[in-house]
Amino acid sequence: MHSDHGVVPEEYRRYLARKTLVVALAVLALGGSLVLALSIGAAGLGPADVLSSLLGLGASPRVDAIVRGIRLPQALAAMVAGGGLAVAGAVMQAILRNPLGSPFTLGISHAAAFGAAFSVMALDSGLMTSGKAAVTITSPWVATASAFAASLIAAGVVIAISRSRGARPETMVLAGVALGALFTAGTMLLQFFATDVQLSAMVFWTFGDTSRASWGELGLMAGLTLASTGYFLANSWNYNAIDAGDETARGLGVRVERVRLAGMFLASLVTAVLIAFLGIIGFVGLVVPHMFRRVIGADHRFLLPASLAGGAVLLLLSDTAARMLLAPHLLPVSVLTAFLGAPTFLWLIIRGRN
Amino acid sequence: MLSVNDLHFSYNGRPLLRDIDFRLERGELLAILGPNGVGKTTLLKCLNAILKPASGAVLVEDRNVLALSPGEIARDIGYVSQKGEASRLTVFDAVLMGRTPHIRWRMGEVDLLKTEAVIRTMGLSPLSMRHIDTLSGGELQKVCIARALVQEPSLLLLDEPTSALDLKNQVEIMNLIRRVADGHDMAVVMTMHDLNMALRHADKTIFLKDGNIHAMTTTSGVTPEVIQEVYGLPVHVHRIDGQAVVLPRN
């Protein structure tokens, strides 16, 4: 039918190589950021100490305790959360065909936080103390399931609205504002009935903070984030097709409804698990995919892995900065991401109008 | 190769299309005509099961399309919607996307080569590294048609392929579609608004009225009476340089 004697243009191969390079650089930057994050802190360790501890080259027990016991879990939690939220945001933007989609702007984060708080308060799945840990989740599965259930409700509303009213950016953001307000009100209701200790613990806990994850929770978050990313990557061409319009995608044999529901379901699950363990961390899911879309375009074969690595870098660096900014006080990273993300969000809106 | 038998379609219990029956051979261009809202696009979307007909059959090479999976349908039938959305993809990637129904996980070398071949034959090579959100309407329409062609379909469905284009692009796209139908031995079904465009470029026409096929003729058999019955407007059909031209009567 076609003449198959042609060659793939060199220019296209170079173009693919360039995009692969961007992803590779993001991964390299992640490695560098990890060493940096582990080196910076009150104890004053150098990168050499950190590397020798990480690689098991006979660092002192004190260095091991600081690097592996304290800094590494927090750094890994920041990486996993940043990567997971960024990928979830990229997928939501793709399947809703909406540049303002993200767990935070659609109110899914707030719903998950409400679900987790509900499980801790009402379902006795955790302990609340006003100490450093604030909330110890004693049954992570119950907390996660509850956060997931609430986030699914929010995701369901988002999908229903996008179906009936069309997923216009304005509609979606207004729906997100409404959902966010609703679930925040729910959380406040729980707070009203909480004891003083519970209240202070809950307020502290709603700040997204990466220092509270245990190794077990970290494993669950990382496993889920990576598995979901694998699923999302396998659907890259489906997301590209949906970007070209629902009908075009259907014409290409994409089961649009199924891809959309499964993507939203899984992205909400990732969000819910991250938020159940770490609290609300905003804007990463919105900003990171946008940054990379500008650099490497909207091809999800590259956008998704770049967002994963880039989100991890962004949150890890933010987390490190948040630890250092007001030292010796440790600022929760969510405060910093909000200060960085909110202006970016405004800029997106203003630019979109023009 | 295309045979539509006794097709019915309802929306919310309201019948929109009734008793649709027609046949089309490879290499033929069929224009679906009729007033706004009569169901031209609906009929087109029933042919590749984007919309599910209430009853009836659509046979492509004797296989019932309505019993196939979306992927199987997309390997046989290409579809170009009325409004192609532009995103930040290169022309090459946007056309490559047409291989989606043929792949399992990733695009292989064969997919890249087939994409290159279609881009070359459609004269899109100079644009292949441009982002499609920077293209003109005519260029984007060509990319969408190229995307449908790398699907390697035997039937091509086009929803108003020229409605958003200027005169030069209209003629260019229609000539391109004719070339493609001949070159790839493909049947083409397109919905159209512009009667003169249809008379000039199609082989056959179907006039829809009140959810039925009011008339199905070869293009040369279209009479002023049929047009008046369907559109409710008295017209003349003149011949200018051997080409039929429809003009409203005052």
Asked if the Cβ–Cβ distance from A6 to B87 is below 8 Å, we say no
**What DSSP string describes B177-209?**
HHHHHHHTT-EEEEE-S-HHHHHHH-SEEEEEE
Helices A140-165 and A256-278 pack at an angle, to 10 degrees, of 140
Work out the percent of chain B whose per-residue pLDDT is above 70. 100
Global confidence as pTM: 0.89
Q: B93 and A299 in contact by Cβ < 8 A?
A: yes
> For A231, which residue in chain B has the nearest alpha carbon?
B105
**Cβ of B100 and A8 within 8 Å?**
no
- pLDDT at residue A354, as a whole number: 43
Residue A195 CB neighbours (<10 A):
9
Instruction: Identify the band that residue A350 occupies on the pLDDT scale cut at 50, 70 and 90.
Output: confident
Q: Do B117 and A248 touch (CB under 8 A)?
A: no
Residue among A1, A237, A250 whose CB faces B50 most closely: A250
In Å, how far is B164's CA from the nearest CA of chain A?
17
Q: What's the length of chain A?
A: 354
Could you report the per-residue pLDDT of B66-87, keeping only the tens digit for each? 999 999 999 999 999 987 788 8
CA distance B177 to A16: 31
* Local structure of A303: helix, strand or coil: helix
Q: State residue A135's pLDDT score.
A: 62
When divided into structural domains, chain B yields a total of 1
Which of A10, A242, A252 is the mutation pick for testing B, counting most B CBs within 10 A? A252
Residues of A in contact with B78 (CB under 8 A): 251
B11 phi and psi, to 5 degrees? -125, 120
Report the chain A residue with the minimal C-alpha distance to residue B184: A1
DSSP string, A96-111: TT-TT--TTTTTHHHH
pLDDT single digits (tens) A274-310 = 988 888 888 899 889 988 988 899 999 999 999 999 9
Q: Is the dihedral of CA B81, B85, B90, B91 positive or negative?
A: positive
In chain B, which residues have their Cβ closer than 8 Å to the Cβ of A10? none
Residue-wise pLDDT tens digits, A309-329: 999 999 999 999 988 887 777
User: Which tokens hold the place of A120?
Assistant: 């801790």
Helical segments of B40-166, H only: 40-47, 70-76, 91-96, 109-121, 137-150
Asked whether the beta carbons of residue B90 and residue A293 sit closer than 8 angstroms, the reply is no
Backbone angles phi, psi at A131, to 5 degrees: -75, -160
Interface probe with B: pick from A250, A293, A301, most Cβ of B within 10 Å? A250
- Chain A: residue whose CA lies nearest to B96: A237
**B109 to chain A: closest CA residue:** A8
What is the C-alpha end-to-end distance of chain A, expressed in Å? 45
pLDDT tens track for A111-165: 988 888 888 777 766 666 555 555 666 666 777 788 888 988 998 888 888 777 6
Quick one: pLDDT band at residue A3, thresholds 50, 70, 90? very low
CATH code, domain with B114: 3.40.50.300
CATH number belonging to domain A10-353: 1.10.3470.10
pLDDT at A2: 45
Tell me the C-alpha distance between A144 and A134, whole Å: 17
What domain range is B121 assigned to?
Answer: 2-248
CB contact under 8 Å between A240 and B48, yes or no, is no
- Res. B40 pLDDT band, cuts 50 70 90: very high
Inter-chain residue contact A240 with B129, CB threshold 8 Å: no
Contact (CB<8Å) A245/B50:
no
Q: Taking 60 as the threshold, does the pLDDT of residue B239 lie above it?
A: yes
Residues of A in Cβ contact (< 8 Å) with B157: 251
CB-CB under 8 Å, A243 with B116: no
* Residue located via tokens 């091991």: A64
- At A91, the pLDDT band (50, 70, 90 cuts) reads very high
Distance CA B86, CA A97 (A): 11
Q: Do B117 and A240 count as a contact with CB atoms less than 8 A apart?
A: no
Per-chain mean pLDDT for chain B: 92
Lowest average pLDDT, out of A83-92, A120-129, B235-244, goes to A120-129
Residue contact A4–B152, C-beta within 8 A: no
Position A89 scores a pLDDT of 95
Is pLDDT above 90 for A75?
yes
Measured between beta carbons, the chain A residues lying within 8 angstroms of B143 are none
Considering only the beta carbons, identify the residue of A4, A237, A254 that sits closest to B117: A4
Q: What is the least distance, in Å, from the CA of A175 to any CA of chain B?
A: 24
pLDDT of residue A1: 44
Local confidence band at A333 (pLDDT 50, 70, 90 cut-offs): confident
Are A39 and A75 in contact by the 8 Å Cβ rule? The answer is: no
Looking at CA atoms only, how far is residue B151 from chain A in angstroms? 8
B-interface mutation test, from A247, A258, A259, most B Cβ less than 10 A away: A247
B43-61 pLDDT tens trace: 999 999 999 999 999 999 9
B41 within 8 A of B81, measured Cβ to Cβ? no
Q: Which two tokens stand for residue A340?
A: 């960085």
Query: What is the residue extent of each domain of chain A?
Result: 10-353
DSSP code for A66: I
For residue B101, pLDDT over 80 is answered with yes
Shortest CA distance from A15: residue in chain B: B129
DSSP-derived secondary structure letter, B86: P
- The Cα B135–Cα B245 span in angstroms is 32
Q: Which residue has the tokens 């071949």?
A: B117
Chain B within 8 Å of A329 (Cβ-Cβ)? no
- The pLDDT-based confidence of A109 (bands split at 50, 70, 90) is confident
| CA contacts within 13 A on the Cβ side of B117 | 18
Say what percent of chain B tops pLDDT 90.
Answer: 80
A245–B84 C-beta distance less than 8 A = yes
Residues of B in contact with A253 (CB under 8 A): 69-75, 100-101
Separation in Å, CA A151 to CA A113, A148, A233, A289: 8, 5, 23, 21
Return mean pLDDT, chain A. 85
What pLDDT was estimated at residue A276? 81
The answer to whether the CB atoms of B81 and A251 lie below 8 A apart is: yes
Quick check: A248 and A239 in contact, CB under 8 A?
no
Q: pLDDT (tens digit, 9 = 90+) per residue, A194-234?
A: 777 777 666 766 777 787 778 888 999 999 999 999 999 99
Q: Say how many CA atoms lie within 13 Å of B245 toward its Cβ.
A: 7
Tokens, residue A116: 């987790």
A9 touches chain B (CB under 8 A): yes
CB contact under 8 A, A12 and B112: yes
Name the residue among A7, A12, A244 with its Cβ closest to that of B92.
Answer: A12
Per-residue pLDDT of A166-204, as tens digits, reads 667 677 778 888 999 999 999 888 888 877 777 766 676
